[in-house]
Amino acid sequence: MKTKLVMLFILIIAEPCFAQERNFRFNPGKVWLDDEHNVINAHGGGMLYHGSTYYWYGEYKQGKTVLPEWATWECYRTEVTGVSCYSSKDLLNWHFEGIVLGAEKTDSLHDLHTSKVVERPKVIYNSKTKKFVMWMHIDSADYSKASAGVAVSDTPTGPFTYLDSFRPNGEMSRDQTLFVDDDGKAYQICSSEDNATMYIHLLTDDYLKPTKTFTRNFEKKYREAPAVFKHHGKYYLLTSGCSGWDPNVADIAVADSMLGEWKSLGNPCIGEEADKTFYGQSTYVQPVIGRPDTYVAMFDRWKKTDLPDSRYIWLPLTFEGDKPKIIWHKDWGF
Ligand code: DGJ
């Protein structure tokens, strides 16, 4: 009896130490742990669904946050560490796959040098070349380079080989995302012309470069943080305004084709602090596979003076007729 009691006691006390962290609900803005009890570190991220697995790529932010001496605006920064990757079967429980594109520590001229800016990585799969292609915002510390960088890998979990950076069609590219349409055509969507106008570039068949086909959208409207998805044959583009790391009001626009005319539908956010996007900034919208008409809208809640402690706001995106809405929930699940 005594032995049984001791064993029961050990099980009750020790079990939580051996148990894997399991998440059952989304808790926007709260610290989110991976399956090894570490805080998930994938900011400005994007998602890829491949081989029945979700992959979440993002900026791995580590170390001290500083405001450079020369700063004329609040360009708080951390040194570049690289792009992280997490995998999941259910969007709630994530396994760290590592840093799939690491920073360059010695060559100070390299795009990935710790002193530079590497933001908003997105990965798509090219079924013709069988390559995983990553595009990201590459910049100098003062954000004057305004370019897009491209890296490739044979597997979703890397390592990715960095190829080059450039200004797509000779135009600036800062906040950016990628979208692959059902016909296999891929697009890069980016804030250009000093963030005043959003460009959509049709990519080459190998997804490594822009073609000469592109459109200028929301001219002089200063939109950034783009996230694109397709619903019932229409294309939706979620964006933020431009206010550095501080929150502002979101907008969602709709179009009949990626290179067509985009029409604003206004702010899709509903609930307390909806005019500040719940203190978040959009980064991606992920369709939930196997659940038609169900989407997860991903936002970053930046903590500008301690960027590694920035949090994630993931919320359900639903439709009322043709109008998308994102309602605040402090706790939710599927
Ligand atoms: C807003 C952008 O969306 C972020 O990715 C980052 O570039 C900050 N600006 C820098 O202030």
Give all domains of the chain, ordered by start, each with its CATH number: 32-327 (2.115.10.20)
What is the pTM for the complete model shown? Answer: 0.94
What's the CA angle centered on 311, arms 304 and 315, to 5 degrees? 130
- How far away, in angstroms, is 175 Cα from ligand 1 center? 7
Q: For ligand 1, what atom is nearest to the CA of residue 174?
A: 7
Q: How do the pLDDT tens digits run along the chain, 334 residues long? A: 555 544 544 444 444 444 566 999 999 999 999 999 999 999 999 999 999 999 999 999 999 999 999 999 999 999 999 999 999 999 999 999 999 999 999 999 999 999 999 999 999 999 999 999 999 999 999 999 999 999 999 999 999 999 999 999 999 999 999 999 999 999 999 999 999 999 999 999 999 999 999 999 999 999 999 999 999 999 999 999 999 999 999 999 999 999 999 999 999 999 999 999 999 999 999 999 999 999 999 999 999 999 999 999 999 999 999 899 999 999 999 9
Question: Residue 106's pLDDT is what?
Answer: 98
What is the rounded CA–CA span in Å between residue 39 and residue 308?
10
Long-range contacts at 310-315 (CB < 8 A, ≥ 24 apart): 310/43, 310/61, 311/28, 311/29, 311/30, 311/31, 311/32, 312/28, 312/29, 312/32, 312/40, 313/28, 313/29, 313/277, 313/278, 313/279, 313/280, 314/26, 314/28, 314/91, 315/26, 315/28, 315/278
Q: List pocket residues of ligand 1, CB cut-off 6 Å.
A: 44, 75, 119-120, 175, 224-225, 244-245, 281
Are 320 and 293 a contacting pair, CB within 8 Å? no
Q: For ligand 1, what atom is nearest to the CA of residue 225?
A: 3
Residue type at 226 in one-letter notation: P
Question: Distance between the two ends of the chain, CA-based, in angstroms?
Answer: 44
- How far away, in angstroms, is 244 Cα from ligand 1 center? 5
Question: Residue 3's pLDDT is what?
Answer: 52
Are 147 and 164 a contacting pair, CB within 8 Å? no
